[in-house]
Amino acid sequence: SPKSPSLLDHWPPTPSTLSPPKEIAYRSVVIHFDLGTHLQQIFTPPPLAISSQPPNMASSASNVVGVHYRVGKKIGEGSFGVIFEGTNLLNNQQVAIKFEPRKSDAPQLRDEYRTYKILVGYPGIPNVYYFGQEGLHNILVIDLLGPSLEDLFDHCGRRFTIKTVVMVAKQMLSRVQTIHERNLIYRDIKPDNFIIGRPGTKAANVIHVIDFGMAKQYRDPKTKQHIPYRERKSLSGTARYMSINTHLGREQSRRDDLEALGHVFMYFLRGGLPWQGLKAATNKQKYEKIGEKKQTTAIKDLCEGFPEEFSKYLTYVRNLGFEDTPDYDYLRELFTQALKNAGEVEDGEYDWMKINKDSGKGWDSKGHNYHHNPNARPGPSQMELHSGHRGNTNSQQAQNLTVGRLNAAQPPPPSPIKQMGKQRDRPSAQGGLSAQRGPGGLRDMSTPAGSTQAQFQNSAQNLPQQKMTPQGGIGQPGQLNAQAVQQPSGFQKFIKSICCG
């Protein structure tokens, strides 16, 4: 078929006669008019091999978005759209460019951009450079990073050593703590969403968290008022790792992120989880089977053969109340204790680095043309990585963690603690929730949407207004204890005295 007409076809035959400012202005106009045709090619299989095109003026202009980001080869795709490698033409820095159709059923890139801006500056949070509309698509430009933990898990034969799991766990826990301290819950914990930095950079083995499509505020940033407890919620997250309470349709909070992390840790240690591979006729039935298997699998059985600290971790997080603030320092110290008991030291040598050295077939020897950003800040120290705060290594060390506390048979209650008083809201210490389900199994739930389809939900939608009367009912911990009665003003009292005596 004939090539679609483009303004680039009308580019003057002798562009050298134009002054540089006029040429740049003209190309900027051309870029915006021509982008629709370019993106149509991007989203039409087979994907456009941009890097294989000759570097003529027309192709270079049509491959530029956001004024100065050149689109390179495709590096990933999902239900939201496509991710491309890109280059910042101003400083030659490599970036990742995410494309999303503007007419998507649940557009996420704008909300993801806002979330990155909330978290900017913390260790393990990618820098975000640009969000905008180009033709019929939204685009988001962020740091280009390395492989995911799922990729590295495959690379290491689908099994990590205790040493690597402990070091990974402490970093992942700190990333989630950062998110929680910024009033957000993540709600889609999985190895695919945690990625390391690019080889050859100071952040090569810093674990970053990406894809905030399901992030949600769990408390008001100003008042710190927690969202109310609710039930009959649809599933949010990845069924393999999500918490038991999420399967039961209960509103998620910080405890659910931490429980999902615990499932990821055991996945790394065991090479798989007992509820993988279950068959069912529909996705809904499959998710129900997974939830039931999680409830009937005791923590001691799940963690058998591995350091007891992992069992203590899961017991602790499954016993957190809906509004409880987790003791992140205690959980990190559990993993430090596990490493000491195994006779290992935390030296930053991960399993994938050892494979790289022994075989020369690792991630940093694949010939990728990575470019370090010369303007990037120095990489965070080990203490900063594990504390979750740049430049303040003592901010999370306020509580003295005694050896006796770490070695206790049962982990202590959360500190500070808010007891909920509702037994139905707490899982049993044996690793499953008390069976309080109807005859139909798990509660009826709609089929969950893909993680990249969910939207960021802000406090205006999820937090009760101060002048509203809190809802009553069973199983709603964390609500106000008194009715919010509006008192009449002095003017209203005056009018009432005139009218009614």
Binding residues for ATP: 98
Which contiguous run of DSSP H or E holds residue 284? Answer: helix 283-296
What does the radius of gyration of the chain's CA atoms come to, in whole angstroms? 26
Do 312 and 332 meet the contact criterion of CB atoms below 8 Å apart?
Answer: no
Structure tokens at 196: 């390391």
C-beta separation of 172 from 262 below 8 A? no
- CA dihedral (288, 262, 257, 322) in degrees, to 10, reads 80
The secondary structure of 144-171, three-state, reads CCCCEHHHHHHHCCCCCCHHHHHHHHHH
Which residue in 111, 143, 188, 257 is the catalytic one? 188
Tokens 């002048």 correspond to 467
Residue 144 phi, psi dihedral angles, 5° rounding: -90, 120
Strands (E), 164-296: 184-185, 194-196, 207-209, 216-217
> Exposure pattern of 484-496 as b/e (b: 16+ CB <10 Å)?
eeeeeeeeeeeee
| Strand ranges, E, within 148-245 | 184-185, 194-196, 207-209, 216-217
122/127 Cα distance (integer angstroms): 10
Cis peptide before 46 (omega within 30 of 0): yes
What strands, in cross-sheet order, belong to the sheet with 137-143? 64-65, 69-77, 82-88, 93-101, 137-143, 128-134
Which of 201, 158, 168, 147 has the alpha carbon at shortest distance from 349?
168
d(CA 63, CA 39): 9
143 is catalytic: no
What residues are labeled active site? 188
